[in-house]
Amino acid sequence: MTAPDCDHGEKVAYPDGETAARALVECKISRALHNNTRRRARRAYECRHCHRWFLTSRPDLFATAS
Ligand SMILES: [Zn+2]
C-alpha cells in the first residue's frame, strides 16, 4: 500500500505518531546499549502522501512527531 508519491520505499511504517515516537525511543535505547550505529533514526515523521509514520535519520524532513 504505497502511494505513487511516497519517497520512503519499503521502510517500516507505523500507524500513528505515538507508535512511531515509541519506536524512535526504542531505537535510541538500542543504539545506546549495543552501540549500534546502523540504525540512526533521529526523528519520526508522517508521510503526507499515505499518512503513515516513519523514522528517519534526516533532520531536514517535513513533519515531526515530537
Ligand atoms: Zn507514504
CA distance 5 to 23: 24
Q: How far is the CA of 57 from the centre of ligand 1 (A)?
A: 16
Per-residue pLDDT of the chain (66 residues; tens, 9 = 90+): 556 789 898 889 999 999 999 999 998 898 889 886 666 788 899 999 999 999 988 766 555 555
Q: How far is the CA of 51 from the centre of ligand 1 (A)?
A: 6
Q: How far is the CA of 38 from the centre of ligand 1 (A)?
A: 22
* 43, 23 contact by CB (below 8 A): no
CB atoms within 10 A of CB 29: 10
pTM of the model: 0.73
* 51, 1 contact by CB (below 8 A): no
